[in-house]
Structure 1
Amino acid sequence: MKFKIAIAVVVAGLTLSACTSDNADQAVAQGGTFEFISPGGQTVIEYPAEERKPLQDFSGESLLEEGRTISLSDFKDEIVVLNSWGQWCAPCRSESDDLQRVQEELDKRGTGTILGINVRDYNPDISRDFVKDNGITYPSIYDPPFKTAAALGGVPTSVVPTTIVLDKQHRPAAVLLKETTDKELLEIIDKLEQE
């Protein structure tokens, strides 16, 4: 019995010590919710054109069109906004209207698309219902284990949602490790259209 108590005390002590660190300010609570802050405090990372490297092509099963494969190369010479999302993710649900507005603007301009990557949703029917119920028209790859992340090389993908804006050569120009807005994305896209 004393051994079990000693083990419990050690485990409790380790747990408490794990919750304190010199980096405690890297994750902060604001308004009663958890907000991710990446190392260095960056949640938006922009890459100058001269530092960008193209991604390798990747493909995956379409969420909405069974039997169809979607590839990055399907969007040759287009700006592509990659967005990892899950219907279970509150920030993903919140930003879906903004992403749809960006898709509608890209459709008008004829310069690109949003390409969703549906992650950690192991029942595709629930994800399909979310897409249909919210009037989302952009394509999504169904990728529960997020294997697509391997094709993204060293681009940070540590949180969901993550949004990666690719230039027309499919080089990462910006990474947003947070919920995004249509205004924020369109500002980035406007710059890329001028390149």
Structure 2
Amino acid sequence: MHRRTAALACAALIAAPLAGSLAACGGGGDDAGTFAFHSPGGQVEIFYEEADRLPLADFGGESLTEPGEEIQLSDFAGQVVVLNAWGQWCAPCRAEVDDLQEVHEALQADGTGTVLGINVRDYNPEISRDFVTDSGVTYPSLYDPPFKTAAYLGGVPSSVIPTTVVLDNQHRPAAVFLREITADDILEVVSRLREEGNA
């Protein structure tokens, strides 16, 4: 409980200065039918009803653990994808990695999806690879130190790490967490997606 409270406080402090600009980034006519993130009142948990969801544009990049290999979001067509922006330098990211691995194993067990990490602000990939290995992580991660991927996430703030975005099987954001997550947080969203037929 202490871990979650501290993470929420940290995320809230980070998100608070962003609240005004985030609220201004709502989905207007310029979005051409793709997802645009906004956080009313600087919320750190945002959920999207099925009728309000819009897809992400496809994106990709170099694999962290398989240098020279490319990973694309479209590699996971028809699957739930849990995007998680993380860095090994980030204490909440380190704390939530076991929960993300648990989610990944659950999604893999029933064939419905994957966790896809986005490794940011780690300019020495070997340190990140060592962290992945030492933590027993089996889900893939893009290696994206400048977090260019944020541009494809509808304006999700690149300054808030960790950030987790749960995509339904049409790759439309169903939930955004601007804080450390637990496995239960994500599996609850996945359960709702199953009920909708979007998992």
Instruction: Identify the TM-score tier after normalising by the shorter chain.
Output: 0.7 to 0.9
Does the 8 Å contact 1:158/1:177 carry over to 2? no
Which structure has the larger Rg over C-alpha atoms? 1
- Shift of the alpha carbon at 1:157? 4.5
Deviation string 1:69-128 (CA, Å, 9 cap, x unpaired) is 000000000000000000000000000000001111111111000000000000000000
Worse overlay, 102-111 or 153-162: 153-162
Q: Deviations over 1:15-59 (max 9, x none)?
A: xxxxxxxxxxxxxxx76x962223325111001111111000001
Is 1:50 the counterpart of 2:25? The answer is no
Unaligned runs of 5+ in 2: 20-40
Instruction: Provide the TM-score with structure 2 as the length reference.
Output: 0.79
What's the TM-score once normalised by structure 1's chain length? 0.81
Distance 1:108 1:36 in 2: 31
Q: Secondary structure at the match of 1:36?
A: helix
Which residue is 1:119 aligned to?
120
Indicate the residue corresponding to 2:149 in structure 1: 148
Q: Distance in 2 between matches of 1:150 and 1:59?
A: 12
Aligned to 1:133: 134
Please tell me the residue identity of whatever aligns with 2:147: F
What percent identity do the matched residue pairs reach?
Answer: 63
Paired residue type of 1:194: E
Q: Secondary structure at the match of 1:137?
A: coil
Cα distance in 2, alignment partners of residues 180 and 146 from structure 1: 20
More strand by share: 1
Moved over 3 A (4+): 154-158
The alpha-carbon deviation at position 155 of structure 1 amounts to 3.8
Select the residue among 35, 40, 47 that pairs with 2:10. 35
Indicate the residue corresponding to 1:168 in structure 2: 169
Whole-Å Cα distance in 2 between the matches of residues 113 and 189 of structure 1?
A: 11
Distance 2:67 2:91 in 1: 26
Counterpart Cα distance in 1 of 2:72 and 2:66: 13
Aligned partner of 1:105 in structure 2 is 106
State the aligned residue count: 165
Residue of structure 2 equivalent to 1:14: none
Q: Mark the runs of 5 or more structure 1 residues left unpaired by the alignment.
A: 1-29
Report how far residue 67 of structure 1 moved. Answer: 1.2
| Residues 157 and 175 of structure 1, relative CA distance in 2, 3 Å threshold | farther
Q: Do the aligned residues in 2 keep the contact of 1:83 with 1:115 (CA within 8 Å)?
A: yes
- Judged with a 3 Å threshold, the aligned counterparts in structure 2 of structure 1 residues 126 and 56 are, in CA distance, closer, same or farther, namely same
Q: Aligned-pair distance for 1:135?
A: 0.2
